[in-house]
């Protein structure tokens, strides 16, 4: 169970009392102040677009492809199994087919071949007998393979957007990649399909084989989908690509038949297609094919001209996505049980580790490891690595990791790379292969290095930080404000959906939804509390069902949230999506947890602390017999059998609501320390006000009064 609050980092422009308009604050937070930059950012008709021939080798690539088309040579397009790779493949293939080219394509199988031009798929390349190989969304790191292919007399054009290994690039005929050290292209964050789009644009501009309006619209639509899917920054040229793609998809009907049929099946009638729909509805279906099987159905979706066949591909991808969700749910539940199991070895328990959580399962599907790792990271608010033995390397296990917060997963893996067979990725995500015989060594080194990094970092830098754009008063939370926020769309990396804070709201109704998975809260301002239907804000906390016990009607709370719209039976209303909810500071007005803990840890007795904090009372710091009973009964009922990470302030709220008492976070923490010393729980700590504990099975009645903490608290 997780009952924690995030650290709220309110921007310097967004604190209460700011003189700027809300929209100006949001722009300043993004570093956009110049009037021309503002216009480029918010316009529905963006013009920010770079010359494709600024890419190294682009002119030469156009010459080679033009020559191959003219000679009727066979061209092989080699892609990747995710949405970016599939759409990039389809963009090039559709363009070449529009000119009657002899074109074929290969997309590797995730489990059988892995990513890129690997040795175990090179024979498939030779079997197709191409004169020209064009890689999309891969190839930049395949130095040896590209060299071997060229030795066979095959021309190679590499198009990619991934990082280069050092300064070395493949010895291909052309290497179109903005990550090369001598890059001349002004924007380095296009996705693979974005690079493919620029290649098609270049062909249309300088070769006799022009790009028709339909082919261009289709290419833009697919590149826009991929740009959203691949989590690249939504700024500069990427922003233009996404806007142009959404415009094409919303103007009558999409040009690509597969996109058209998928949207007919999924999109809400009357509601514009936007980046949220693409990200949460469209992309998972495309990715499901490559996660579970191969990407043939996904390619069929984008390459099929017949609407009926395209609709069949969309339906099959939906079926595969449903299967993926079921597999993912099973693996996630098993992973959570493994982490929360009280019998988990002590050195790997939640209470004793600070580094990435590591889990391992027999025959967990490789295709869902990354998703599960990401969900674990969000659930436990810790970086996570998920391993399976479902791997072609029989003596190895294969894993996928996701970082949480500011934790640099790739850097840590680099530091312990002598315990790893192979790994790759970036700060936030990584793929890892470890020998089964070395798993224990890997985990110990990973934990040790993580502790060193956290010790070296400034206190709090590894915390769960929530960036807040602006503080809003209750009366400012309106549909008009929401429409203002929407001027910043599309949202994504480097342009996140704004998170706001409103303080001092009163809960007028609260309940759990979906069998306790989610939280629904209705809130009013303190001034208008009880006003009939007036000023009620409805908020949803997805995945926050456990927080139901921490709050009750009448509680004063502070909330962090994003603004959204909710459509039901034709009516559109404002909806708040909770990012965090916590007791208003007035709940424990005199008690500032950090100050109290610092004073207590300095060795002061509790009666001395009370004298320093004028207005406090001894009962706020020293548990009595009933407090121990209330704390233990509550955690045993609600947290028993699970590892629990919780903020003492939220635990205090839960205990107070359940038992109708008033215990402070300080008292809760002292009770847990006494329980730990008495052998009732296993206790770990994350920070000043956060604890991690597991309830133990004990025989007999423990003697709380014999513990050191109990004696210290009662030494007044």
Q: What is the pLDDT of residues 120-131, one digit of tens each?
A: 889 999 999 999
Find all residues with CB under 8 Å of 61, minimum gap 6, and list them.
157, 159, 173, 174, 176, 199, 202
- Report the pLDDT value the prediction gives residue 399, as an integer from 0 to 100: 93
- Report the C-alpha gap between 264 and 273 in whole angstroms: 11
- Give percent of the chain above pLDDT 70: 94
pLDDT band at 614 (very low <50, low <70, confident <90, very high): low
- Report the pLDDT value the prediction gives residue 531, as an integer from 0 to 100: 44
Find all residues with CB under 8 Å of 144, minimum gap 6, and list them.
none
pLDDT band at 692 (very low <50, low <70, confident <90, very high): confident
- Report the C-alpha gap between 599 and 500 in whole angstroms: 33
Q: What is the mean pLDDT of residues 646-658?
A: 92
Distances from the Cα of 285 to the Cα of 134, 198, 247, 315, 423, angstroms:
26, 26, 22, 9, 27
Phi then psi dihedrals of residue 518, to 5 deg: -120, 165
- Give percent of the chain above pLDDT 90: 66
- Report the pLDDT value the prediction gives residue 463, as an integer from 0 to 100: 58
- Report the pLDDT value the prediction gives residue 194, as an integer from 0 to 100: 98
- Report the C-alpha gap between 246 and 251 in whole angstroms: 8
Q: What is the mean pLDDT of residues 443-471?
A: 80
Reference 292, options 108, 110, 84, 87; nearest CA is 110
Evaluate the omega torsion of the peptide bond into residue 490 and state whether it is cis, within 30 degrees of 0. yes
Instruction: With residue 195 as reference, give the H or E element that holds it.
Output: helix 192-206
Longest CA–CA separation in the chain, Å: 95
Question: Can you list the alpha helix ranges (DSSP code H) found in 57-142?
Answer: 58-71, 83-97, 110-113, 122-128
Q: What is the mean pLDDT of residues 48-52?
A: 96
112-121, 128-137, 430-439, 678-687: which is most confident: 128-137
pLDDT band at 586 (very low <50, low <70, confident <90, very high): low
Q: What is the mean pLDDT of residues 388-394?
A: 69
Residue 18 has pLDDT above 70, yes or no: no
pLDDT single digits (tens) 282-333:
999 999 999 888 898 999 999 999 999 999 999 999 999 999 999 999 999 9
pTM of the model: 0.88
Angle between helices 192-206 and 83-97 (to 10 degrees): 20
504: helix, strand or coil: strand
Between 113 and 364, the higher pLDDT residue: 364
Residue 533 has pLDDT above 60, yes or no: no
175: helix, strand or coil: strand
Between 49 and 7, the higher pLDDT residue: 49
96: helix, strand or coil: helix
Residue 16 has pLDDT above 80, yes or no: no
* Domain architecture of the chain: domains with CATH: 2-29+465-583 (2.40.50.460), 52-319 (3.90.1640.30), 341-456 (3.10.310.30), 588-714 (1.10.10.10)
- Report the C-alpha gap between 702 and 680 in whole angstroms: 8
Spell out the SS3 assignment of 636-664: HHHHCCCCEEEEHHHHHHHHHHHHCCCCC
Residue 45 has pLDDT above 90, yes or no: no
Find all residues with CB under 8 Å of 127, minimum gap 6, and list them.
none
264: helix, strand or coil: helix
pLDDT single digits (tens) 175-206:
999 999 999 999 999 999 999 999 999 999 99
The partner residues of 132 in beta bridges, in order of sequence, read 75, 155
Residue 532 has pLDDT above 50, yes or no: no
- Report the C-alpha gap between 679 and 703 in whole angstroms: 10
- Report the pLDDT value the prediction gives residue 393, as an integer from 0 to 100: 56
User: Please, what sign has the CA dihedral across residues 427, 429, 431, 434?
Assistant: positive
- Report the pLDDT value the prediction gives residue 702, as an integer from 0 to 100: 85
């Amino acid at each position: 169970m997780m009952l924690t609050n995030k650290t709220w980092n309110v921007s310097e422009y967004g604190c209460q009392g700011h003189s700027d308009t809300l929209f100006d604050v949001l722009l300043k937070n993004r570093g956009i102040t110049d009037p021309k930059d503002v216009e480029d950012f918010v316009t529905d008709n963006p013009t920010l677009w770079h010359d494709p021939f600024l890419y190294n080798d682009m002119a030469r690539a156009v010459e080679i492809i033009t020559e191959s088309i003219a000679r009727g040579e066979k061209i092989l397009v080699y892609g990747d199994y995710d949405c970016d790779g599939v759409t990039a493949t389809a963009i090039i293939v559709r363009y070449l087919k529009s000119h009657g080219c002899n074109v074929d394509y290969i997309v590797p199988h995730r489990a059988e071949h892995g990513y890129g031009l690997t040795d175990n798929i090179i024979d498939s390349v030779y079997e197709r007998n191409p004169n020209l190989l064009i890689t999309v969304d891969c190839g930049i790191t395949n130095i040896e393979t590209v060299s071997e292919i060229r030795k066979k007399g095959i021309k190679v054009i590499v198009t990619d957007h991934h990082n280069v290994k050092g300064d070395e690039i493949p010895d291909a005929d052309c290497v179109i990649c903005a990550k090369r050290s001598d890059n001349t292209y002004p924007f380095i964050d296009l996705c693979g399909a974005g690079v493919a789009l620029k290649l098609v644009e270049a062909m249309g501009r300088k070769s006799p084989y022009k790009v028709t309006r339909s082919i261009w619209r289709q290419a833009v639509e697919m590149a826009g989908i991929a740009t959203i899917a691949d989590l690249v920054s939504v700024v500069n040229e990427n922003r233009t690509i996404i806007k142009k793609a959404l415009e094409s998809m919303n103007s009558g009907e999409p040009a690509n038949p597969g996109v058209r049929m998928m949207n007919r099946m999924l999109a809400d009638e009357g509601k514009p297609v936007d980046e949220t729909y693409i990200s949460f509805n469209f992309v998972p279906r495309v990715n499901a094919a490559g996660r579970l099987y191969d990407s043939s159905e996904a390619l069929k979706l984008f390459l099929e001209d017949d609407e009926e066949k395209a609709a069949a591909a969309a339906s099959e991808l939906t079926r595969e996505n449903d299967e993926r969700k079921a597999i993912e749910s099973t693996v996630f539940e098993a992973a959570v049980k493994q982490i929360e199991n009280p019998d988990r070895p002590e050195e790997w328990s939640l209470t004793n580790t600070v580094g990435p959580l590591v889990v391992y399962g027999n025959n967990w599907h490789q295709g869902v490891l990354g998703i599960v790792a990401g969900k674990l990271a969000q659930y436990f608010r810790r970086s996570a690595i998920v391993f399976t033995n479902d791997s072609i390397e029989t003596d190895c296990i294969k894993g996928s990791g996701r970082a949480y917060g500011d934790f640099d997963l790739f850097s840590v893996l680099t530091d312990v790379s002598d315990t790893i067979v192979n790994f790759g990725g970036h700060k936030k995500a990584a793929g890892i292969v470890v020998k089964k015989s070395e798993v224990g060594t890997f985990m110990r080194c990973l934990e040790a290095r993580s502790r060193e990094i956290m010790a070296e970092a400034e206190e709090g830098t590894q915390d769960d930080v929530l960036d807040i754009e602006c503080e809003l008063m209750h009366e400012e939370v309106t549909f008009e404000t929401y429409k203002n926020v929407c001027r910043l769309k599309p949202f994504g990396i480097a342009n996140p959906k704004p998170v706001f804070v409103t303080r001092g709201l009163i809960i007028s109704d609260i309940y759990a939804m979906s069998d306790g998975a989610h939280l629904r809260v209705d809130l009013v301002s303190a001034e208008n509390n009880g006003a009939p239907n007036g000023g009620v804000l409805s908020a949803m906390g997805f995945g926050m069902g456990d927080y139901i016990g921490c709050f009750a009607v009448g509680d004063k709370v502070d909330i962090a949230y994003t603004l959204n719209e909710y459509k039901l039976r034709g009516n559109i209303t404002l909806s708040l999506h909770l990012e965090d909810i916590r007791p208003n500071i007035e709940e424990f007005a005199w008690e500032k947890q950090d100050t109290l803990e610092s004073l207590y840890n300095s060795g002061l007795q509790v009666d001395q602390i009370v004298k320093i904090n004028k207005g406090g009372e001894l009962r706020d710091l020293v548990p009595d017999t009933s407090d121990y009973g209330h704390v233990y009964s509550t955690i045993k009922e609600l947290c028993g059998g699970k590892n629990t990470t919780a903020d003492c302030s939220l635990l205090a709220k839960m205990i107070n609501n359940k038992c109708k008492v008033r215990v402070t976070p300080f008292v809760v923490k002292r009770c847990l320390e006494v329980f730990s010393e008495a052998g009732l729980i296993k206790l770990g700590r994350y920070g000043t006000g956060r604890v991690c504990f597991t309830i133990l099975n004990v025989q007999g009645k423990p003697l709380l009064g014999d513990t050191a903490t109990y004696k210290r608290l009662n030494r007044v």
